A and B are shown apart, each in its own frame.
Chain A
Amino acid sequence: MSSLRSRLVPSAALVAGVVLLSGALAGCTKLPADTTLLERARQFHREVPLIDGHNDLSSAVLSTGKGSFEHFDPDKGLPDLDTDIPRLRTGLVGGQFWSAYVPSSLMGQGAGIFALQQIDAIRRMVARSPSLEFAVTADEIVRIHKEGKIASLIGIEGGHAIENSLPALRQFHTLGVRYMTLTHGATTPWADAATDEARHGGLTRFGEEVVREMNRLGMLVDLSHVSDGTMSDALRVSEAPVIFSHSSARALADHVRNVPDSILARLPANGGVVMINFFPGFIDPQAAREAAGVLQKEREFKAQFPNDPKAAGEAFGAWIRNFRTNDATLAQVADHVEHVRKVAGVDHVGIGADYAGLGQHPIGLDDVTRYPYLTAELLRRGWSDEDVKKVLGLNVLRAMRGAEQVAIRLRQSRPASTATIEELDRPE
């Protein structure tokens, strides 16, 4: 690639000619993602912010770095991981939702405090970095991207983080949290998870109230990790677009963590976005079978450390980083993007790679530098410029703006909810 570029350097006119030619060729023949497509892809990343819905780096800050950046500096290289800030820049990432992940093992045992610690770690990581800037709105992402920085947002992974408290939910919003995944691996007192027993048939009444309060606040409802019943309930209740911050298409890889076509079909009415997860276990059909029990594994660790939920969480984290399945490829990720486009429409697909949490990646998407290669693959498949930009970031920006406007309207029409889980879910 570099040798090709150096041969092209002598004449700008020649370069332009080759670019035009290969651009034309890309449309009608099946070339691999070559320099020209990649250059075009990179140009798109500069024009609109590529926004990724899920990265677990802050968990590594807390575990590997012990909460300190002294020996764990994301602004320098982190060669043991797939994510660091120099590589995010190479990958032309414009906006990143950093995950304030809370292990389900902490449910009822300090989940809220752990979430606060994650939020603190993310905010500190952002504040100290010359490349990152904290963002809470769609407009801020656009502005920060224009200034050449990476807009950094916070999403909480796991509704158990609020410890059944709407006041806590509101204060998380004040701290900058802009989405909350309703569950992680385990069913919570008010929402069923995809990878646990369905105790509520979806959302309880309190769970519905959580969704409504998120709408009122302007926090995106994230349906990755939840059961189909919860997806369905949330789509019925939510007054704002929802997201799946890191989920792929179940039709192509039959894993409960993925989104079934029946749910995809409801996204146009809701205006939401499925942000494709790169984990091979959610991409490749055989890998999906191999990964069927991957999240249930957390409960085994919980049983192993009955009195140390934090240790259980860390043991699970280490286990999942070493988990391996059948390989998947960049092309398969593009297939998922195209499947969601086919069933839900091009307005309802985005990217949520789930880097920094998993040890295995599709061939060609080995770390956060590789996003432009996926963009180039879509171009190679003949996607229009406009549609590629939607997938990169415009769809999520639209969902965010939708949620922001709904919040403005709802804050006028109703006060903060003082409902409690005891009140709404009292046993019959």
Chain B
Amino acid sequence: MRLIRQSAVLLLAILSASCAKQADSGDYLERARRLHQEVPMVDTHNDLPWVVFAEGGGQFERFDPDQSLPSIDTDVPRLKEGLVGGQFWAAYVPSLFMEHGAAMPTLGQIDLIHRMIERSPTLEYATTADDIVRIHKTGKIASLIGIEGGHSIDNSLAVLRMFHELGVRYLTLTHSATIPWADAATDVATHGGLSRFGEEVVREMNRIGMMVDLSHVSDATMSDALRVSEAPVIFSHSSARALADHVRNVPDSILTQVAKNGGVVMINFFPGFLDPQAAQEAAGVLQMEREIKAKHPNDPNAAAAEFATYIRNFRTNDATLAQVADHIEHITKVAGVDHVGLGADYASLGQHPIGLENVSRYPYLSAELLRRGWNDDDVKKVIGLNLLRVMRSVEQTAATLRQSRPASAATIEELDGATGSRP
């Protein structure tokens, strides 16, 4: 509570400092809150499920998101306070599991998310844009599933399809490591983007109605996916590279392609992806996973735990709420206001921009946009309507493609050769 009050005071200070003809900031916040009630604010990336798994052994009795979780930045009470209308929960399994088989641990995370939703009086399971709108109107938080890392499908389109059946509505093509069919931003480029099988994965995602998520992938993978995808893509948690030069961010050249594709870049709140100096400091943050992996060659669980601790304790130069707004405005400038949204990446990182310390703070960001003179319609696009538009388009593309072609029976061996172009 004290933290919130301090932050509010700080925000006020920032606001008054940056704007001379400042109207009452309370008015902006009130207007922002009303907008959050009129349209669902949708965030596309929160890592709470991994925390429940790693810290609570998957047991909600030990780690209950419906109660206050003061040790982290996310819990259901604060999501309500933050007027979140829709949340994509990450079914994240570290790249460290790649050689050991990541699909089954991913199945475990999907199970955990389903259990978290079922037991909560506040969360409700959703798989479509219409679900999100309906659930938001009832005052609950629409809860969706995204898988973070293409290694989770273990090179199997059948597994991809079954994940879709289980409710997964986006797949981030890679996490930190290059996988047998796609290059990651923070690893060696072994395929020059997507392999042929990687392209087939994108097409099959289009056919089944799963959003292609290009956060974490290399520029070439972004480019290949934008070329191949028959539906709009997302970046579930990435910011603008022009403002913070980190490979995890989206370069302007891709932003213009996103506009043509109809996709949306969901801004990440990690200071290392927001502030130019922090970006330099965070340059090697994801590569650290490989160093830790080398220390635990046969124990991916131990490596994953150490990497998670490292990430949570990682600190860079500070960033501010205003800088997040700057990233939103940069993407608006380059790609257009129809192509930006929010994917804060809460529950995985220990550092947040000043003013956006936890999930209760989203309305302050909306208020900042209003303060900068944004109209209500454009703010609504950023907080949710853009993502809903992408989802609906992906749903319609799938409905069409399912009529015109059968499920793909392609294999990686077939398309990429017996050995593939494996790293």
Contact = CB atoms under 8 A, between A and B. Distances in A.
A351 B249 CA distance: 60
Most chain B CB within a 10 A radius of its CB, from A67, A70, A121, A165: A67
Contact of A120 (B57, B112, B162): B162
Interface residues of B, number: 27
B158 interface: yes
Contacts of B409: 66-68
Contact of B166 (A112, A171, A418): A171
Interface residues of A, number: 27
A117 interface: yes
B107 interface: yes
A170 B406 CA distance: 28
A116 interface: yes
A66 B407 CA distance: 13
B159 interface: yes
Most chain A CB within a 10 A radius of its CB, from B103, B104, B161: B104
Nearest to A108: B101
Contacts of B104: 112-113, 163, 165, 168
B154 interface: yes
Most chain A CB within a 10 A radius of its CB, from B60, B162, B166: B162
A170 B119 CA distance: 15
A128 B158 contact: no
Contacts of A110: 101, 154
Interface in A106-131: 110, 112-113, 116-117, 119-121, 123-124, 128
B111 A116 contact: no
Nearest to B56: A418
Interface string B176-216: 00000000000000000000000000000000000000000
B162 A167 contact: no
B111 A167 contact: yes
A110 B411 CA distance: 16
Nearest to B53: A167
Given A66-B409, A113-B154, A418 B57 contact: yes
Most chain B CB within a 10 A radius of its CB, from A69, A165, A167, A174: A167
Interface in A373-417: 415-416
Contact of A116 (B59, B112, B114, B159): B159
Given A67-B409, A167-B108, A171-B166, A116 B103 contact: yes
A292 B60 CA distance: 48
A175 interface: yes
A66 to B, nearest CB: 6
Interface string A231-252: 0000000000000000000000
B165 interface: yes
A119 B406 CA distance: 16
Interface string A163-186: 101011011001100000000000
Given A68-B409, A69-B406, A415-B119, A116 B108 contact: no
A69 B405 CA distance: 12
Contacts of A171: 107, 110-111, 114, 166
A326 to B, nearest CB: 39
B93 to A, nearest CB: 12
Given A110-B154, A123-B165, A171-B107, 10 more contacts: A66-B409, A67-B158, A67-B411, A69-B406, A113-B156, A120-B162, A165-B107, A167-B58, A168-B111, A170-B111
25 contacts: A66-B409, A67-B158, A67-B409, A67-B411, A68-B406, A110-B154, A112-B107, A113-B103, A120-B158, A120-B161, A120-B407, A124-B407, A128-B406, A165-B107, A167-B108, A167-B111, A170-B114, A171-B114, A174-B114, A174-B166, A175-B162, A415-B60, A416-B111, A416-B115, A418-B59
Nearest first, the 7 closest Cβ-Cβ pairs linking A and B are A167-B111, A120-B158, A68-B409, A67-B409, A167-B108, A117-B158, A112-B104
